[in-house]
A and B are shown apart, each in its own frame.
Chain A
């Protein structure tokens, strides 16, 4: 069964550094999402991406965050000038469709630790 993969599984970085989290979507999916979960809190939506541009983003997705699909396969989340409060599990999700019902397939997550 096709699945979404994410790398790395765990990333440790110093505050102020830049990190790039990578996701490989399911091959025929066109809609891509990033979510995050701070320990003990809810899974929160960050951004959705379609046709090489951002469709929607939340308040969390500030100027330090960016997404791209550099080579047509990987979908990346870049965080510049990382802060302690960026420490969280980051989930990539992809879907074939959008609309009221769209089954989103999630990757296993990348745990980001900012020291």
Chain B
């Protein structure tokens, strides 16, 4: 079955770049997503990438997709304390409307 893996924790200093990594197993992925969850809030879509792309940039966020290795990453430039949250990697696959998620990575930004 579909399997999405992420590391559980990441700590960075304010102003540094954060890189959150994700691997997946299903080669029929169509879109890959990054969701952010702040305390007490729902999962908020941050960005997504179509599986035919290898990079997408949106302000401080850069998404890299290595389809051969089934590896997705989210880079946050100039990380701020407000970026502290849980970041979920998710994929959608051909023939299914639900999303497949990882465990989430808790990003802690140290002032």
Contacts and interface: CB of A to CB of B under 8 A. Distances in A.
B88 interface: yes
A30 to B, nearest CB: 12
Interface string A2-46: 011000000000000000000000000001010101001111110
Interface residues of A, number: 30
Interface stretch (B12-20, B57-65, B73-81, B92-100): B92-100
A51 interface: no
Interface residues of B, number: 26
B42 A56 contact: no
B103 interface: yes
A100 B30 contact: yes
A45 B99 contact: yes
A7 to B, nearest CB: 13
Contact of B43 (A58, A91, A98): A91
Given A4-B42, A103-B45, 16 more contacts: A31-B97, A43-B43, A43-B90, A43-B104, A45-B99, A45-B100, A91-B42, A100-B30, A100-B31, A100-B94, A101-B30, A104-B99, A106-B35, A108-B41, A108-B42, A109-B42
Contacts of A56: 96-98
Nearest to A57: B98
